[in-house]
Amino acid sequence: MYWAEFLTVALIHLLAVASPGPDFAVVVRESVTHGRKAGTWAALGVGSAIFVHVGYSLLGIGIIVSQSIVLFNALKWAAAAYLFYIGIKALRAKPAVVSDEAVSAPVGERTARGAYVSGFVTNGLNPKATLFFLSLFTVVINPHTPLLVQGGYGVYLAVATAVWFCLIARLFSQARVRAGFARMGHWFDRAMGGVLIALGLKLALTEVR
């Protein structure tokens, strides 16, 4: 009965998640710099944060956030500050000697918790994600659709997001791919830092429409 609606939600989500943004940048950086395990944990963090967006969308809190300039700006600046923080850390990356053994093993020390938190916070504090899920649950999804069904949509969105970014982590953590990036060493890290800072700046300039 709700298949048409579900397919619409799935298609819109696919187009949104495939568009490179802060989530993509963080997962790629974790995967290339620290290996598949870190990239996967970051991907799971991004996927888990989807439940936060789905939760407040179902509760109607998203409407309050979108209508309150103060709350929206607080969320926006918190997200921008976090992106600036991890971007500046990446910009300060120093050259390192890379060997074949280093490429085949995880680079640097990175805990699963640290990688997970980086993905979770990046997605969870993104006000654009707030507006995306708000519009999804108020415009695309019929308000008369049972909450249980809407919750099912939410579970799909979280799982699909995690799977997508796990695939991204798997791709960018492959030895051959990492070897190519590793040859650029600190320059890659600095480039990713620049991307994260640019995304943070773009986020800081976002306005409610």
156 assigned to some structural domain: yes
172 assigned to some structural domain: yes
User: What span, in angstroms and rounded, lies between the C-alpha atoms of 85 and 104?
Assistant: 28
Question: Counting Cβ atoms within 10 Å, is residue 172 exposed (0-12), middle (13-18) or buried (19+)?
Answer: buried
3 assigned to some structural domain: no
Indicate the pTM of the whole model: 0.71
67 assigned to some structural domain: yes
Q: What is the mean pLDDT of residues 43-50?
A: 96
Domain count, the chain: 1
Q: Comparing 1-15, 79-93, 132-146, which segment has the lowest mean pLDDT?
A: 79-93
Q: What is the mean pLDDT of residues 1-13?
A: 87
63 assigned to some structural domain: yes
Q: CA of 10: how far to CAs of 24, 136, 156, 200, in Å?
A: 19, 11, 8, 27
